[in-house]
Structure 1
Amino acid sequence: MPKEPTSGQGAQPAQGAAPQNPQGAGAPPESGASASRQPRGHVVGERKKRFLVAPRQPMVQMGPLGVLPMAFQPLSLSTVEQALRAAPDIEVVGLVGDRRAASPLAEGMGGGHAEGVLVARMTDQKAQELHLQGQGRLLVERDQHLQLFEPALRQPNLVASLTPAAGPAMSLAVLVLDGSGAPVPEAEVSLFGSLLPASGVTGQDGTATITMYGENPHTVRGLYVKPKSDFWSFYQRDPDLSATEPNVVTLRPLSAWRGLSGFPAQNTIGWGQRAMRMDKLPPEFRGRGVRIAVIDSGVATSHTNLRQIGAGFDIIDKDTDPGAWNQDQLGHGSHCSGVIGGADPTFGIRGFAPEAEIHVCKLFPGGQVSQLIEALEYCIEHQIDVANLSLGGTEPSEALEQQILRAKRFGVACIAAAGNSGDAVQYPASSPHVLAVAAIGKAGEFPPDSYHSQTMNGDVDADGFFTARFSCYGPRVDVCAPGVAIVSSVPPNNFAAWDGTSMAAPHVTGLAALVLAHHPAFQGPGRAPNADRVERLFQVIRMSARRVTLGEQTRIGYGLPDALVALGWSVMAADRRGQQPLQGMAGMGLGALGGIGGTGLMGEAAFGQPVGLGAAQGGIPGIPGLPFGIGTVRGGW
C-alpha cells in the first residue's frame, strides 16, 4: 500500500504496487481529499503457493494409458535451479528427494545421477508460464496437501446444503455417560437434521450443548457420539430427543464386547489379525530384522504397546524440532503403529510384527507432497523394507510417482490405503508401484448401536464379511483387509475403535513384514533390496488372498490375505505344537512369481529408453538460462 501524502499533494503509488482505482480500469485514480477516503489495510490478491519443479524424467509421464515413453534429453537440476533463482518473482524454498551424488549402489539400482525436486513459491499464473516454457521437459505441479484417510460421517439421506437466513434456533443438551453413570468428557456429538449438521464436544461434566437453526427435535434424523478413546461409538437413526431436558447417551466400554473380554488388562489379538490368521502362526514369527516406516502423524511412545519404537524424524518441524516424531496430536499414526507392531506385554493389543524395527516419519498435521517425497528419501537412506502410507491426495503427482519408483528400486515396498471417499482409488494407492488396500468389516465384531454398523454394505457373506461403504474401489485395488471397528493404540495410553482404509493398510504392512522376515524365499540372496524383491513380496501377498464378502472383485481385489498361506503354513501344522511347513508351500508360486515380477520390471525398463531427441536450443524470455527449444516430443505409442 502507498503511504498517505503528508501535504496537499496526491498519493503516489509505490514502485511495483497496483494503483488504487475503484472507478474501473479506464478511470484515473483519485487524489487529494478523495484519496484520503480510501480504506487502509492489505489489498487482497493472489498469494504465492508452493510448487514442485524438476527436470522431467523420460519414463514417468502419466497419460490415459499409464506411463508413456518420452523422447528428449533431460535437463540438469542445477540448470533449472539457477534459472528459478534468477527469476525475481519465484522464491526457491528448498530441495527434496535424491540429494546425494551418484554412487555405485545408486547406479546398480538404476538410480542414475542424483536428481531431486525443487520446492518453489510462485503464483498460479507464473507456474503456468513456467510449464509452457518447459515444452514438456519440465515438471511443474502444485505441492498439494495430503490427508489422512479417516472416513467422514455418513449423513442420513436428504440432508440439504441450505443455510437459513433467519429463524428460530433450537438448543439440545446431550449428556454422555459411561456404564457406571460417570460423565465422559471430550466426546464428539453430532446431530443431523433436514438442513446442515451441527456438532459439539462434551465438557468435563459430559454435556455438549448443540444449537441448530431451522430445526426441531422431530426433524433431527441422526445422533452420533464418537468418544475420544476406550468406548464404543454410538449412533441412533431418527432419535427421540427432548428440547427441555438433557438427552442421555450411555456408552459401552470396549471391554464389554465379547471379542475383547478382559481388555485391555489382558493382552488381546484384534479381530483383523484373527481374520488373517496371524494367531495361527508359530509364536516365534515376530518380524525381527525387518524395518518398517510409518509415514503418518507421529507415534506416542508414552503408550505401553509402543514404547519399543525408538527411531523417527519429524519432517513437518525438521528445522526446529526434528525429534518430535514421538508426539502424536491426532492419534492416527499411533493407531496404525499398534496394528503393525504393537508390543505384547500383559496389556493391550498385539500387532503383527512386535519385534520389527519401526521408524516413524511424522507428516501430519499439514503434510504436503514435497514432505512425503522427503519421507520416502528417509526410507531409502535408512534401508526401510516396508512403508505404510495411510494417506493420500486429491490428484496424482508425477514428482511423487518418480520418488515412489526410486524407493521401489531400493527395495522399499510401499503399501497404501485405497481411500475413504467411496469412489475410485485415490493416489498414491492408484500408483502401479504400490500395493493398494481396500477395507472390509465383519458382522459381530462391534455393537449394533455403534456407528460401525453404518459402514455395512449389503454384501455380507456367510462368515459375516462385508465391504465397507466408505472404501474406495476399482481395478487398482490389490487386496482388502480389516478396516471397520479396529481397536488399537491412541495417546497417551488408551485404545480406540476406528474405521478406515487407514486401518486396513497396516494389517497388510504387518503381514508383509512377517513374510520378509520368515518366508524362505526372502532369505539369503532373495533378501537383496531391489524392485524385484518388492514385486515378489506383493505377489506373495496377492496370491495368499481368499475371496470374502459377496461384493464385486473391484472392491476386494484378490481378496483378504491369509498369513498362513503367505508364509507357507497349513492350518493343521499351525494347530500342532511341533509346527512344520508343508513341503512345497514355502516356495508357493515363486516359480511363476519371477516371471510376473520380471514382466513388470522389463516393461519398466523398456519405457525408460528414450525414443528420440528433440531440439534443445534457444532461450526462453522471462526465465533466463533454461535451454528450452521448440523441438518436438515424440512418444512410442
Structure 2
Amino acid sequence: MPKTPQGGPGEPQDRGQPPNGPDNPGGTAPAEGRGHMVSERKKKYLVAPRQVAPGLGPLTSLGVAPLPMAAVEQALRAIPEIEVVDTIATRSAFGTAGLESIAAEGVVVARMTDRQALDLHARGGGRLLVERDQHLYLLDPLLRRPDLVSSLAPYGGPAVDVTITVLGKDGMPLPDAEVSLFGGMLPASGVTDAGGVASLRLFGDDPRAISGLYVKPRADHWTFYQRDPDIDLAQPNVVLLHGLSEWPTLQGFPNQNALGWGARAMRLDALPPHLRGRGVKVAVVDSGAATSHASLNRIRAGFDIINKRINPATWNDDTLGHGTHCTGVIASADPAWGIRGFVPDAEIHVCKLFPGGQISQLIEALEYCIEHQIDVVNLSLGGGAPSEALERQIVRAKQAGVACIAAAGNSGGPVQYPAASPNVLAVGAIGKIGEFPADSYHTETISLDADSQGFFTAKFSCFGPQIDVCAPGVAIVSAVPPNNFAAWDGTSMAAPHVSGLAALILAHRPEFQGLGRTRSAERVERLFQVIRLSARRVSLSDPARIGSGMPDALAALGLPLMPGQAAGAWQPGFGSMMGAGNGGSGIPVFAGGSPYFSTASINLQPMGFGFAMGPMPPPGW
C-alpha cells in the first residue's frame, strides 16, 4: 500500500525544524519574503526505559538501576526541541490471577529529528530505548506483478484511449470496479462509472504491447484477469464478471449459509455443530469491522485507536473493508445467510488501526488486549523492520495469556515483522486448484508445487524459517462493507483461519479447560504446539513455505471421526516429521481412514493422498 503521511488521522502532522536553531547552529535565516527554508522534519519516535541491556541481561546485574518511566517522560518534556505526542502507560497487575508478575512498562511517543534521536540514545547510556515509530501496512490482496508494470517515468509520446465496459451477473453494468491494463506501455488504471464503463488512456500507440487486463469488482463477483488481451481501440471492450453465487460450491449463496473452501479444507465441517467458540475472546487488529453486515452485527466491543482523541467508538466504520473480511473468516454468525466463521459464538473485539497505523498504536492495541483478557489476536499486518518496543509488548501479551497470530506477508520475500517474531505464530498462504474460476486473477497466484489434491503455495506468500503453519489464503470469500461479500487473496486471509481454529481449541479442547484456562505464556506456547502438531503437509513445498503444514480442526480438538464421516487422508506435517511428539495430548492421527489416539509420538510413517482437484467449473469458465 502507499505510505500514509506521518501522524495519522486526528494527530498533528510532522513539522519542519527552523533553519536557525538547536539543529542548525550558525544557520542563517532566509531573507524575508523568500519562503520556507527546507530542513529535516521531526518524526515520531518511541522512547522507553530499558530493563535489560542489549546482549548483557538485566541492568540490575550490571549495578545500574533502570530509569523510571515517569522520569523519562519528565525529561523529554523538559527539552524544548522535543514534542511529546502521547504516553502509552502499562500496568503491572490487572487484578487477574497470573498477571501480577508482568512488569510494568510504558512508551513515550515524541517528535524529534533523527539527530536529536541519536543524541538522546547516546545520552541514555544503554538505559533508553529510542526507535523510529514505523508505519504498519495491511497485508492486503493488492495486485503485485512488477513483471507486468513498466516504468512510471514521464512519457511525452503518443497516447491512445481504451474503453472497458464491465458487466456483472445478469449482464447488468457493474460500477466501482477497478480496471487496470499492463504492458510495454505505461500502465493505466481506472474505476467504472454507474454505467460500468472505465475510460483509460494508454501511453504508446500499439495495443499489442498490452500484456494483462485486470478487473477487481468491489463485491459479490469474481475478479477477472486476461493475459495478452485482444483490445480493440475502435469500440468498447466488454468484460463479463461471474457472480460468486455462480460457483458450484456457492450455489444459492448468500441466501443459503455456506462454508468457505478454506474452512472445509481445515475440516471445520467435520466438527460437531455445537462447537462454536463460546467463552473465548478474539481481537482483530485491523481497519475496523462493519457491524452493518448481517453476519457481524452481533459484535459489540471495540476501540478506534487511530481516532481515540476524536471518537474511539468508530471502530465499526471500515472504509477499507480489510478488517471486515478478516473478521468474517473468524466470526461470521448468521445461521442462514452468507459464510459461516470458525467461532460465531466467541466474543469479538475490534481494534481499529488503519488507515495510518504505526508501531506505537499497535502497542496500544495489545495493551487493550491484555486489559480485556483477550485469548487470541489476529494480526494481518506488517512493518518494515523489527521493533524492540513492539517485541517487548508482544512478550507482555504472551505472558498475559494473549496468543498473537500473524500473517507472514505478501511480498514473496522474507517473512515480515511481527510474523517474524519468535513469540507469535506465523502463517503462510496456500490455495487449491479448482476453488476459483480459471479466468479470475486467483490463477496468477498458482505456483508449480501443487500436490495431488491441488494444494499449492501462493506465489505472493512470504517464506522463511519463521513460518509455523500455512492456511487457505487464495480466493477466500468473506464479508465486506456494507453488507456484501468478496473473494480476496493474501496471507491476511490465511491468518484468520488459524486464529479461528485457535479460538476453537481454547474453547473446546479439554486440556484448556479448568486449570488449563490459567493465562500464561505456557498456555500460549502449548496452544501453538497443538496447532503445529495438528497440521498435515500440503503442496510439494518445504517447511520454509508451509511450516508444519495446514492445521486440521479434528486433530487440533482431539476428536475422532464421527460415524458416517469420510476419513480423508491425513498425514503429519513437517513439525511432526522432524521428531516433535504430542506429549500424551491425544492428538488423533488418521491412517488409512481409521483414527487412533497416540499417547507417545505421532506416527511418522508417510501416508498417500487421494487424487482430488476440487469442484469442476461449469461449462464456459
Q: Partner amino acid for 1:56?
A: R
CA gap 1:27/1:559 in 2 versus in 1, 3 angstroms: closer
C-alpha separation between the residues in 2 aligned to 1:573 and 1:585?
23
1:169 to 159, 163, 178: 159
Q: Which residue is 1:318 aligned to?
A: 308
Deviation at 1:293, TM superposition (A): 0.3
**CA deviation vs aligned residue, 1:212-240 (integer Å, no higher than 9, x gap):** 22353111110000000000000000000
CA gap 1:115/1:162 in 2 versus in 1, 3 angstroms: closer
Q: Are 1:441 and 2:435 counterparts?
A: no
Once the two structures are superposed, the pairs formed by residues 445-524 of structure 1 within 5 Å of their partners are: 445-524=435-514
C-alpha separation between the residues in 2 aligned to 1:346 and 1:524?
33
The answer to whether the Cα contact below 8 Å between 2:222 and 2:243 also exists between their aligned partners in 1 is yes
Once the two structures are superposed, the pairs formed by residues 226-625 of structure 1 within 5 Å of their partners are: 226-573=216-563, 575=565, 586=586
Q: Which residue is 1:125 aligned to?
A: 115
Q: Which residue is 1:214 aligned to?
A: 204
1:140 to 112, 123, 130: 130
**CA deviation vs aligned residue, 1:296-321 (integer Å, no higher than 9, x gap):** 11111010100111111111111111
Deviation at 1:154, TM superposition (A): 3.4
Q: Partner amino acid for 2:545?
A: R
**CA deviation vs aligned residue, 1:240-286 (integer Å, no higher than 9, x gap):** 00112111100000011112111111100000000000000000000
C-alpha separation between the residues in 1 aligned to 2:58 and 2:445?
42
C-alpha separation between the residues in 1 aligned to 2:112 and 2:367?
25
C-alpha separation between the residues in 1 aligned to 2:270 and 2:27?
81
The answer to whether the Cα contact below 8 Å between 1:393 and 1:427 also exists between their aligned partners in 2 is yes
C-alpha separation between the residues in 2 aligned to 1:105 and 1:294?
23
Identical pairs, percent: 63
Q: Which residue is 2:617 aligned to?
A: none
**CA deviation vs aligned residue, 1:123-170 (integer Å, no higher than 9, x gap):** 111111111222222111111111100143232636442524411112
Q: Which residue is 1:223 aligned to?
A: 213
DSSP-derived class of the 2:171 partner = coil
**CA deviation vs aligned residue, 1:52-90 (integer Å, no higher than 9, x gap):** 00012317x4x7xxx977755321111211111111100
The answer to whether the Cα contact below 8 Å between 1:316 and 1:371 also exists between their aligned partners in 2 is yes
The answer to whether the Cα contact below 8 Å between 2:150 and 2:182 also exists between their aligned partners in 1 is no
C-alpha separation between the residues in 1 aligned to 2:487 and 2:283?
23
Q: Which residue is 1:611 aligned to?
A: none
C-alpha separation between the residues in 1 aligned to 2:233 and 2:277?
55
1:204 to 190, 194, 204: 194
CA gap 1:68/1:509 in 2 versus in 1, 3 angstroms: farther
C-alpha separation between the residues in 1 aligned to 2:513 and 2:310?
40
List alignment gaps of at least 5 residues for structure 2: 1-16, 567-583, 589-596, 602-621
1:84 to 76, 79, 85: 76
1:57 to 27, 51, 54: 51
The answer to whether the Cα contact below 8 Å between 1:172 and 1:210 also exists between their aligned partners in 2 is yes
TM-score (norm 2): 0.85
DSSP-derived class of the 1:384 partner = coil
CA gap 1:449/1:95 in 2 versus in 1, 3 angstroms: same
1:179 to 146, 169, 172: 169
Deviation at 1:489, TM superposition (A): 0.3
C-alpha separation between the residues in 1 aligned to 2:115 and 2:599?
53
**CA deviation vs aligned residue, 1:517-557 (integer Å, no higher than 9, x gap):** 00000000011111111001000000000000011211000
DSSP-derived class of the 1:171 partner = strand
C-alpha separation between the residues in 2 aligned to 1:531 and 1:330?
33
List alignment gaps of at least 5 residues for structure 1: 1-15, 20-24, 577-583, 594-637
DSSP-derived class of the 1:521 partner = helix
CA gap 1:480/1:569 in 2 versus in 1, 3 angstroms: same
C-alpha separation between the residues in 2 aligned to 1:210 and 1:222?
14
C-alpha separation between the residues in 2 aligned to 1:373 and 1:86?
25
Deviation at 1:440, TM superposition (A): 0.2
DSSP-derived class of the 1:141 partner = strand
C-alpha separation between the residues in 2 aligned to 1:215 and 1:378?
56
C-alpha separation between the residues in 2 aligned to 1:384 and 1:73?
33
Q: Partner amino acid for 2:279?
A: G
Q: Partner amino acid for 1:84?
A: L
Q: Partner amino acid for 1:58?
A: V
CA gap 1:184/1:446 in 2 versus in 1, 3 angstroms: same
DSSP-derived class of the 1:221 partner = strand
Please report the RMSD computed on the Cα atoms of aligned residues, expressed in angstroms: 2.5
DSSP-derived class of the 1:371 partner = helix
C-alpha separation between the residues in 1 aligned to 2:197 and 2:147?
27
Q: Partner amino acid for 2:283?
A: A
Once the two structures are superposed, the pairs formed by residues 10-25 of structure 1 within 5 Å of their partners are: 18=19
The answer to whether the Cα contact below 8 Å between 1:109 and 1:530 also exists between their aligned partners in 2 is no
CA gap 1:280/1:104 in 2 versus in 1, 3 angstroms: closer
C-alpha separation between the residues in 1 aligned to 2:463 and 2:267?
24
Q: Which residue is 1:190 aligned to?
A: 180
Would you identify which runs of 4 or more consecutive aligned residues in structure 1 move more than 4 Å? 25-30, 67-72, 101-109, 584-593
Q: Which residue is 1:110 aligned to?
A: 101
The answer to whether the Cα contact below 8 Å between 2:258 and 2:339 also exists between their aligned partners in 1 is yes
Deviation at 1:180, TM superposition (A): 2.1
Deviation at 1:93, TM superposition (A): 1.2
CA gap 1:504/1:158 in 2 versus in 1, 3 angstroms: closer
TM-score (norm 1): 0.83
**CA deviation vs aligned residue, 1:417-465 (integer Å, no higher than 9, x gap):** 0011101110000111100000000000000110000001000000000
CA gap 1:520/1:18 in 2 versus in 1, 3 angstroms: closer
Deviation at 1:109, TM superposition (A): 4.7
DSSP-derived class of the 2:334 partner = coil
